[in-house]
Amino acid sequence: MKKMQYDLNFKKMVVAKGKEIGNMTAVARQHEIDPKMVLRWARELNRKDLDQLDGNGVKQSKFVPTAEDYAQLEKENEKLKKLFAEQALERDILKDLLKKTNPHLRIK
């Protein structure tokens, strides 16, 4: 089966026709297209601005981190390091306690 690429105007027309009659599946069958594809087009057209769409799919805007983002990540990283150190210390204390109370259970 050959992969078809449809332009944006065709997608808009099919979705508009499907909304008009209230049945996307019927419109998909009229145009011999997979109904799931038409439903995906409708979701994309409802979800994104039309200028972000092209004939192939949805363009993702590129994320550019700011200084605030880095500061927030560093703060979160420090918090996680402290939490990890506390848990490691607690685990070591529990191991020592277990060795003292049960000498026959030697945990390495």
89: which 2 tokens?
């210390």
Structure confidence at residue 7 (pLDDT)? 84
DSSP structure string for 66-98: -HHHHHHHHHHHHHHHHHHHHHHHHHHHHHHHH
One digit per residue, the tens of pLDDT, for the chain of length 108 reads 567 788 888 888 888 898 888 888 888 889 888 889 888 988 888 876 555 555 554 455 677 889 999 999 999 999 999 999 999 999 999 999 888 887 776 655
Structure confidence at residue 61 (pLDDT)? 61
Structure confidence at residue 60 (pLDDT)? 55
